[in-house]
Structure formats: structure tokens, C-alpha cells
Chains A and B, each alone.
Chain A
Amino acid sequence: MSVTEPEFRRALADFVSRIDQLGKTERWTLHKSDIGICAKQSVMIKWRKEAVNRQVHVTYNSTYGVPVLWFNFYRRDGTPLTCSEIMEMSHNEDSEISQYISLNEHPILGVLFYNIHPCKTKDILNELDGKGNYIAKWLSVYGAPIGIAPPDALFTSKALSQRSEDASQSSDDGSLSTLEM
């Protein structure tokens, strides 16, 4: 399924707002400009025993009518992970969409960022069922290669009542886990 840009904006604002209400989870911030709307998240994660900063942006692609995930990883000294490191990290997740990762120009920043090309998004989302926020559903697939999983609460309509349960979330498996700051 594709969405119009106004639908995307509403879903994105709702996504950011509901994440914020949950508390105790990685926050996203909403950024609006003449060029478009964008949700951003910046967190420290552990990768190969090293703390790296994962920067993620969600933008709208008007060609395909779907969201696009943009990301970069930086070491503490500010240097970005190399292309081969990114590929190694994302292919650990055994996701078939990892093959669509490439650098390209970020539509708002105008610099190179990694993205997962949106050419398959519409087909993949058509196969997803279930209710819940559109961005959260999309992110459950497209965030997987880089270790992003939207909170389960976003897939139900009882976001607020889920708060206490999410506070006791079990720790992550695998090589990507959030560092307590």
C-alpha cells in the first residue's frame, strides 16, 4: 500500500507522539522544513563491543508514495562506520531487504546517508496484516536490518495502558543493544 504525503505526515506525527507518550523507550523527534517532514532518532548502541551513535531519519518518497529509512553510524570520535561495516552489521539480521541498502543523497540534508531503497516497500507492506500505526508497521520490517524495533504497544490501541508493561521489557538479543546512558 502506498500513502499520500498528507497521510504520511499524519502517521509520522502520530508515531512520534505515541512513542513519546510511552516513555522509557528511544524517542523520535519531528522536524519540519520547506523541503519536507522528517522524524529523527539518535541513540548510542553497542556494536562489536564498541559504542556507536546510530542516527536514523524517516522521510517521504514521492515517487513510490512510501517512507524511506535513512541512517548513518558514527564512532565516538565522529568518524562514520565504513560501507563494509554497515553491510556486515545489516546482513547479520538475515533480512532480505538488506540487499537494497545503498548510499544516496539525503533529501533534506543534502549529504550522503545510507538508505534502504523503497522499490519493494509497497509490496512488502501489502503483505503485512494487523492494525496499528502505519509507520510502526513499516519500521518493524525496514528497521530490522539496523536493529530498530518499534515498541509492541504501537500495534494496539491501548498505548497508554501498556506503559508499565513496556517498562519491564526484556533485554535485547544479538549484537545490537541500547546502551544505558
Chain B
Amino acid sequence: MIKWSRFVGFLLIVVLFFALAVPTYQGIWKGITLGLDLQGGFDVLYEVQDSPEGEKVTDEGVISTIKAIERRIDKEGVSEPNIQKEGANRIRVQLAGVFDQSEAKKLLVQTAQLRFLAPDGTTVLATGKDLKPNAKYVSDQNTGAPQVAVEFKDPDKFKKITEDYLGQPVAIELDGKIITAPTIQVVIYDGKAVINGQEDVKEATELANLLNAGSLPFPLKEISSFGVSPSLGEGSLDMTMMAGGIAFILIFVFMVVWYRLPGLIAMIALVMYAYLLFATVNFMGITLTLPGLAALVLGIGMAVDVNIIATERMKDEFRNGKSTLSAVIMGQKRSMPTIIDANITSIIAGILMYWFGTGQIKSFAVAHIISVLATFITAVLISRLLMQLLVRSNIIKNKWWYGASREAKGGAAK
């Protein structure tokens, strides 16, 4: 007799999933961080060098340099920069998105050492460290020329400098180059000064930003660089998503035609797989790169494989003359060790790739492991549940619908 409760259970699971997935998948997709190879940007590896004054690079020095770089990037308004220490004295900077890559790189490596020099050209009276981080572009009231307004943390220090060198030129030097050398005409009590000599507003603004971010403790040497223009990245993403979509359709047709009901259930599980996958990537804040995306697309094949294994076992049971219910249960039971063994090797490979790999291999490994886990939840657990609910409902009893061939039916008749 037909057990409607089982069939309703089956429908309920499917309907509830789509009710959850359809309103949220757009948000999930938009919330995923795309790697620079999918949206443009650059990935640069710098080596921190000993300073020209002979100061040795230290661990704290590297960390200070990273902090200075972070402050500079904040000024650029680039979304989600990734800056991290690699090894003992390397810094990796990854910026994704649409922005002027040349300007950003230039800004990163400029040491921005500002110094106030006595008239003898060698005595350092003050440095950028003595300034408050509130430098800003201003224009000269009389001439309109671009300038940078700065303020000393300690007004008395600046007062003393202006007293000591009244009537003499005090040079302002940036990265070893004198940009201006005004003659001090009055004693300044409020600690405020302006730096002139900039070519235009852009240059003045840049200097202000550099001063506010602070100088780099050590110079950086670029040892590796990878840059993608935004339009190339966009193209890759669109095309890859289209490829994934068409692959899904082809697999769908193949599975439903060849396996019928088990194929249909496998494809429902596959949609759940894709949803769970992207939700996990979003939730864990994983950056999706091109190889990572390819691993996910290929995970489609691996997820389907699990159902193919189970369904082929069912067909074996049909050939042995089993009833529909018995064949489904035994097919699932017999195929489980195979599926577990196959997927554990994938996880082992993924973990070792992550541990010993670097950069893109790590990214690939993470996507791969998540893919395997998502496969297990959807293509194994849920699709089995759906299959058993359906077969136990007795709505459809003909073996043909469960993938058995007609010859097998004839064989059973013997």
C-alpha cells in the first residue's frame, strides 16, 4: 500500500531546501571574496632589506613594516587587502579589485623618510616621527600653490628649532631628496608648518598620506610580482561559471536518462552540494581563486561519482533478483565502504597539499577538502535519505524507474 507520509517527507525535504536556497543564493555568491585572478589586482612578494644606515632587520622591524604598509593601503580605499609575513623577512601583499596598480605599488615601497635638516645639511633636527598623523593638503592663500600642512606633536620642539635657526634656511628632505629649504622668518609657537614645492594637488595629497601612514622602518625589495587587469579577471570568472552551468546540464541529462530516479535524486543532491559549498566558502571567509573555482567545478564530477557507485550497486542487486526495497538498501550498504575509502584518500591528499604546499596549492587544497566534505553530506547522506523515503513510500515500484534494465526484469522472471 502507498505510504503517503514517506512521500510527503521526501517532497518536504526537497521543497524546504529550495525554499531556503532560492532566496539566499545570490547573497551568498556576492558575499564570497574573489581572488585577484578573478577580479584583477596584484600579488607581490617583498623582501625586507637592512636599512641604508646599517640597521639590521629584526622580527619587530618586519612587523612594524607590515603595519606601515597596512596604514598606507587603508588610505587607498582598496577592499579587503591581504598583507602577511612569509618566512623570516618577507612580506606578501595581495590587493584585489579595480584600482591604479602602478600608483598603489609605488605608494607601498616608498620609504617616506622625512627629515628636517640644519643649514649644515647633515644635522637632523626632526623627523616624520615628530609629526602628528594629521598632515593634509592645503593651498597657499596668496598664490594658490599646493602645500602640505603639518603639525608637530611637541610645539616646544619646533619652537626651539625656529629660535635656534631664525633667519637661516632649514631644509626639508624626503627620501634623501631636498624638496624645500625655507628661511625661518619668525619663531613659531604653535608647532604648525607647511611644506611647499609640490607639483600639483595629487603629489601634495600623496605626501600627506605617506606622512600620516608613517615611514617604512626598512626598505623593501620586490622579489616576485603577479598582476592581473580587472577585465581579464572578470572574463575568467564569467566564462568559468558558464562552463560550470553547462557541465551541470550535461551531467543532469546523462544521469536522468541513464539512471532515471536515482539520477534525478543525484542531481537534487548535486544542487544541494553546490549551495552548501558556496555557503561554506562564504561563511569561512575563504578567498576564491581560479584554481579553487576549478576544483569546485570538478567537485561536481566527484559528487556525482558517489551516486553512480551506489546506483551501480543497486543494479547489481536487481540482477540478483532482489526486490526494489531490498536492492536499494543493499546497494547503499554495500557501496558505503568504497565511497568512504575513495573520499578519505581525497582528504588525506588535500591535507598534505595544504601542509606542504604554498599559495595557490593551499587554495586548491582547501577548496578540495571542503568539496569532499560537502559531497559526503549531500551526495551520500541526503541522497540516501531521499532514496529510501521514496522507495518506502511505494509510490513507484517498477524496477525500471530505479535504474534496473529490462533484461534484469526478464531474468528475475526466470
A binds B: no
Q: Which residues of B contact A (CB under 8 A)?
A: none
Point out residues on A near B: beta carbons under 8 Å: none
